[in-house]
Amino acid sequence: MHFVRTLNHGSLAPRDYTIDQLRRFIIKQGLRPGDALPNYDLLAKHFKVSRMTIHRAMAHLAKDGMITRMHRKGCFVAKRISPKSPALSEIGVISAFSRKGLFFSYLREIMVGIMSACEPTGMDLNILSVFDAPTAIHPQDLSTTIDGVLLLGVLNDNYIAAMAKQRIPTVVLDYHTEAAALDYVVCDNAGATRAVMEHLLALGHRRIVYLGGMGLDIMDSSRHQTHEAIGNRERREAYLDTMISHGLGNLAHAYVINRSTPELREQTLKEALAPFLKKSKAAESPTALLVYDAKDAYQFYAMAQAAGLQAPRDFSIAAVASSSDEAHILGDRPLTCTQCDFHNMGVQGVQILQRRCRGALPKTPSITRVGFNFHPGATAASLTPSSRAS
């Protein structure tokens, strides 16, 4: 397995590279015998080679009987070109994170899963970082250079829809949208939320607050646009549904972290912390906080500790999602949380690409959910007013 960092043609001679890309172009575009190819100037611009290189590549394909060149009329497909087998040999991983960031936290688990699925068959990975890229990575630039695409951390629905239009096998990891008929592999967000909620409720908690999150869409023109991704919304809605199903809908309260600026983020955390500090109204104060992921749970805990509160002495804190390499530790106590099978998310992504390369692409959004493990940590039983006063 090789790692490729750019969309260039490596050690291939320009003519050989262009011959290979023209074959891919004909296959990917579904061109049939008699269909016209774009003119030399357009092909040269598309493949980023000279017009002379296109001329030489066309001459080679014409000699092999793949195309027919007609004076003043252009070039036409002469016979159908069958895809090579196996169809999936090079995967493009397009990430909204830096390349370095791909090998930390839960992203590392996804990448290890991808690599473990690629290794047995020698598939190559072309790792492209939107975060690191000096220029935009356009979907149309990928259709003739790689066999399948994995989108990781890409929250831009317009970009995902543009990728779907290229008709190249594409799997979106850790995010899903109704905007495009692609394959999506995501966590069981609702199931994980319910697992933690039922744990807290079984301990006697009734006043449980939820702290959600906003996704950062760095592909937006503002480069700092946030929105509540579907996965985050699923967690918030599962929290609300669980509270309602237990007859506690009137006690439900959800906050959403605003990540637009560090100041707004801190303001949201302070707003969520404020009800826990109202000791004069202890009977109405929340006794537990459910945070959408472990990272923000740690930050909330640090703010609570600075304000004189301790978990689980004064309140219980739990998180919906975490990765295996996080310590799950708040102070000297483990954090109650679920751990998504991110490794399997990467494996599933590659396996779905393999199936799509051998068969039809989806006509509607297709969602695959991976499981999770529940880790009970230091959550206290529901706190009474008297215990708060002590």
332: Cβ contacts below 8 Å, ≥ 6 apart = none
Q: Show the domains of the chain with their CATH numbers.
A: 3-68 (1.10.10.10), 90-187+343-371 (3.40.50.2300), 189-339+374-389 (3.40.50.2300)
Residue type, 292: Y
User: Residue 90: how many CB atoms within 10 A of its CB?
Assistant: 15
Name the 3-class secondary structure at 189: helix
Cβ-based neighbours of 24, under 8 Å, separated by 6 or more: 143, 144, 145
Helix (H, G, I), strand (E, B) or coil at 329: strand
Over its length of 390 residues, how does the chain's per-residue pLDDT go in tens digits? 555 544 444 445 677 778 877 887 887 777 889 999 999 999 988 888 899 999 988 998 888 888 998 888 899 999 876 655 446 888 999 988 888 888 888 899 999 999 999 888 778 888 888 777 656 677 767 755 688 999 998 888 888 999 998 888 999 999 999 889 999 999 999 999 999 999 999 999 999 999 998 776 666 655 556 677 788 899 999 999 999 999 999 999 999 887 777 888 888 889 999 998 876 555 678 999 999 988 889 889 999 999 999 888 889 999 998 877 666 677 677 889 999 999 999 999 999 999 998 888 899 999 999 999 999 988 878 765 544 433
Q: From CA 385, how far away is CA 285, in angstroms rounded?
A: 9
CB 372 within 8 A of CB 192: yes
**Among candidate residues 307, 368, 339, the one with its CA nearest the CA of residue 184:** 368
| pTM for the model | 0.76
Distance CA 303, CA 276 (A): 12
Q: Is 48 left (phi over 0), alpha (psi -120 to 50) or beta?
A: left
Task: Judge contact between 347 and 116, C-beta under 8 A.
Answer: yes
Place of tokens 């646009």: 225
Q: Which of 312, 291, 330 lies closest to 208, judged by CA?
A: 291
Burial of 388 (0-12, 13-18, 19+ CB in 10 A): middle
For residue 181, give every residue at least 6 positions away whose Cβ sits within 8 Å of its Cβ, in sequence order, or none.
164, 361, 362, 363, 364, 365, 366
